[in-house]
């Protein structure tokens, strides 16, 4: 298995280079704090280790 760039993979539709979800408006409107993905991974790993 060799890594390739998304642009090198044939896809039926054109995709944007940056397709991350921007949650700033949701956070501001609903006054929510959303943890970054690294915090989520740490939480899942800690949960798996304790079970």
Give the pLDDT score at 50: 95
Q: What is 22-35 written as a DSSP string? A: --HHHHHHHT----
Average pLDDT in the 12-34 region? 87
Give the pLDDT score at 21: 85
* Chain position carrying tokens 């991974």: 41
Cβ atoms of residues 27 and 34 within 8 Å? yes
- In whole angstroms, what separates CA 18 from the centre of its chain? 11
Say whether pLDDT at 31 is over 90. yes
Average pLDDT in the 16-25 region? 84
Cβ atoms of residues 45 and 38 within 8 Å? no
Give the pLDDT score at 15: 77
Give the pLDDT score at 18: 80
């Amino acid at each position: 298995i060799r890594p390739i760039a998304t642009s090198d993979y044939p896809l039926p539709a054109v995709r944007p280079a940056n397709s991350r979800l921007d949650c700033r408006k949701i956070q501001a409107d609903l006054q929510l704090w959303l943890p970054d993905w690294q915090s989520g991974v740490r939480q899942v790993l800690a949960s798996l280790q304790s079970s």
